[in-house]
Amino acid sequence: METNNSDMTRGSLLGHLRHLALPASTGLLFNTLYNITDSFWAGRLSTDALAALALNFPLYMLTMSLGVGFSGAAGALISNALGAGREKDSRTWLSRSLSLSLLFSLTAMVLLQVFLAPLFRFLNAEGRVLTGAVSYGRIIVFGMPLINLAPVLSSALASRGDTKSYRNILIAGFILNIALDPLLMFALGMEEAGVALATVLIQTAGLLYMLLKVLRAGGLRHLNKEDYLLRLEPVKEILGQALPATANFLTMSLGTFVITWFASKFGRDAVAAYGAAVRVEQIALVPTAGLNVALAAIVGQNNGAGRMDRVIKAYRLSLLSGLVVMALILPPVLIFGKQIISLFTDTRMVVDMGYDYLLLQGITFYSYILLFQSNALLQGLKKPGMIMWMGLYRQIAAPALFFSLLCFTLGLEERGIWLGLIPINWSAALMTLYRAIHLFRQKCREGGCEEPEATV
């Protein structure tokens, strides 16, 4: 991939952040708009269809969890290998990450197809909502192996300084989705299943484009079939990086199931409100997600090169950049949140509930930035273990306690969920920040915190 090589162990850190984060953020913005398009057309179909997609939101996250895990592993291992000057290793990490991702995705696809309907019944889905949720979910799960390979290829390119290719895919996917959703849903009468089929078709096209980019850039050059085989030592190394990230994303999926389960206790309007409001929240967080991609790549290369001084500077710059982004993005989102939610549904109760969620989540907005940037740091340092434990705490253990207390004991109903997310997210963010500071001190005691280069 020499043509896209970007040496992030020297030069301006702010320049590297901007070079990587802006295309990544742009692409993720269009990916969020893609999801909003799905919700928009589902809302035009019926409130039941919107609720069916809301139920599938955690399933979609579950489907992507393996792709995210192996993407994080590939990015960390490839960028560290590049920083250390081991070009051939960076290629074999990619080939074996692709093989593992495919194997795990195929296994998960079979299991999820079996348990799909019981899962939605557990979430209190019935009647038209259950039918729509299952028809959407079956197609998404079937496309799971294809959906999960593209992020691995994207990480390989991002580790070399190329976040533009994935941006181009996400923009093109959004444009295609605007046409495919109504065509498949209404013209061909597929309803919710049409939304899912559009996603699988677009993801397949994107995967082929990413593979072509990697091949043209030489990312799999001079490899043979042996480099794709799953041998014990490299598999252990990849899984050591992938499983914490996968578990974290998986617990995010389960955490969304937890929220949806609690919301379902207060009717379909509460479920639909959460599904619509979380889409708006995603828009506000998109620019910071681009910073996550950039920080992980920068940290990986500099950690591989033994430049902890640049790792610390990059982390501080990313947190400061996240604060600036919040100051610019959050106010208009909160002011116009009700109008945005109204794009998804005409039901006044759903709009009011969703807007209440957005107002309360404004308090915890920066905790997401702090948490996700710290996770990107830990992934780049190849120390992802805490990511998994914080995921279990933030998505499962703490919600079970806080939501039960606020929703039922104190009788706050769905508002108890919105309020409970505030202490949950801030406590997780601060604990992860403490872990980052501890790692910095440990690395500095081992050497490598000298600052021979003053470039920011």
245's tokens? 């990230």
Tell me the H-state helices in 342-397.
348-361, 365-380, 385-392
What integer pLDDT is reported at residue 97 of this predicted model? 92
Query: Which residues have CB under 8 Å from 373's CB, separation 6+?
Result: 288, 291, 292, 295, 315, 318, 319, 322
φ and ψ of 12, to 5 deg: -70, 120
Farthest CA pair distance, the chain: 66
Domain boundaries, the chain: 6-445
212's tokens? 């072509």
Whole-number Cα distances in Å, 25 to 153, 210, 317, 318, 353: 17, 18, 16, 13, 28
Per-residue pLDDT of the chain in tens (456 residues, 90 and over written 9): 433 347 888 888 999 999 998 998 898 888 878 887 887 888 888 878 888 887 887 777 777 777 888 998 899 998 999 888 888 888 999 999 999 999 988 998 998 888 888 888 887 778 888 888 899 999 999 998 888 898 899 988 988 888 899 999 999 999 999 999 999 999 898 988 999 999 999 999 999 999 999 888 777 888 888 888 888 888 999 999 888 888 877 787 778 778 888 888 888 888 888 888 887 887 788 878 889 889 988 998 898 888 888 999 999 999 999 999 899 988 988 888 888 888 777 788 888 888 999 999 899 999 999 999 999 899 888 888 888 888 889 988 999 999 999 999 998 988 999 999 999 999 999 999 999 888 887 877 776 565 444 344
Contact assessment for residue 83 and residue 304, using Cβ atoms and an 8 Å cutoff: yes
What integer pLDDT is reported at residue 2 of this predicted model? 39
Contact assessment for residue 276 and residue 354, using Cβ atoms and an 8 Å cutoff: yes
What integer pLDDT is reported at residue 448 of this predicted model? 54
**Tokens 């949806």 belong to residue:** 260
Give the side-chain half-sphere CA count within 13 A for 33: 16
Whole-number Cα distances in Å, 449 to 76, 141, 312, 441, 455: 20, 46, 9, 9, 15
What integer pLDDT is reported at residue 170 of this predicted model? 92
264's tokens? 């379902």
Amino acid, single-letter form, for residue 32: T
Find the distance separating the first CA and the last CA of the chain, reported in whole Å: 26
What integer pLDDT is reported at residue 423 of this predicted model? 95
What integer pLDDT is reported at residue 1 of this predicted model? 40
DSSP state of 226: G
What integer pLDDT is reported at residue 451 of this predicted model? 47
Contact assessment for residue 260 and residue 268, using Cβ atoms and an 8 Å cutoff: no
Angle between helices 232-264 and 414-445 (to 10 degrees): 150
The torsion of the CA quartet 334, 170, 36, 330, rounded to 10 degrees, works out to 0
**Tokens 């889905």 belong to residue:** 125
In a 10 Å sphere around its CB, with 0-12 CB exposed, 13-18 middle and 19+ buried, how is residue 193 labelled?
buried
| Calpha distance 208→203 (Å, rounded) | 9
User: Residue 178: which of 202, 147, 200 has the closest Cα?
Assistant: 202
What integer pLDDT is reported at residue 135 of this predicted model? 92
| Calpha distance 58→396 (Å, rounded) | 13
What integer pLDDT is reported at residue 3 of this predicted model? 37
